Amino acid sequence: MTSGIVNIKNKIQTGFTLWFTGLSGAGKSTIANILEKNIKDLGLKIEILDGDVVRTHLSKGLGFSKEDRDTNIRRIGYVASLLSRNGVIVITAAISPYIDIRNEVREMHENFIEVYAQCPLEVVEKRDVKGLYKKARSGEIPQFTGVSDPYEEPTAPEIVVETNKETPEESANKILRWLKENGFIER
């Protein structure tokens, strides 16, 4: 496996994956988009693999059974590992509810940073602009994470952002600080 380090305009860039996990509505995509802009502003190569977008293009036809969710997360993890080992910073924003599959994906990567977008269920339900939780509670959406399907919280994520207590910008800045302090991005 290569080291995932590339030289971009005299800047050395180490590829890594920021793997966001958390309930639907916890703020994963919002924070990912802020981070993408901030990292691009540093002149670094970055890609976002958003769970909803990937389901449309890479995992079309998959449902929401545990097996299909695992397949989707493995696919995202595989693409992220390819990009990161070639010097690209990758941000994934997918619920990825099961610890065992997140650990399996971690093993695919040389530089894997788990970011837990922590937010209580009652808060994400109040934020639910798409009405997904309401539909899940009424039985219209079966196998919905946090309602009728489990979400297994990370046991040792590298970064925790508390999206019910922090603004998306504060969470993004917390992640950037961690990346700088741990040598993934130049100070």
Q: Where in the sequence numbering do the catalytic residues fall? A: 96
User: Could you tell me which of 114, 177, 48 has the C-alpha nearest to residue 185?
Assistant: 177
| Widest pairwise Cα distance in the chain | 56
Gap between the Cα atoms of 115 and 113, Å rounded = 6
Amino acid in position 61: G
Gap between the Cα atoms of 30 and 63, Å rounded = 24
Contact in structure between 18 and 112 (CB atoms under 8 Å):
no
Amino acid in position 69: R
Per the document, the length of the chain is: 187
CB neighbourhood size of 108 (10 A): 17
Contact in structure between 97 and 150 (CB atoms under 8 Å):
yes
Structure tokens at 163: 């999206």
User: Could you tell me which of 128, 93, 124 has the C-alpha nearest to residue 21?
Assistant: 93
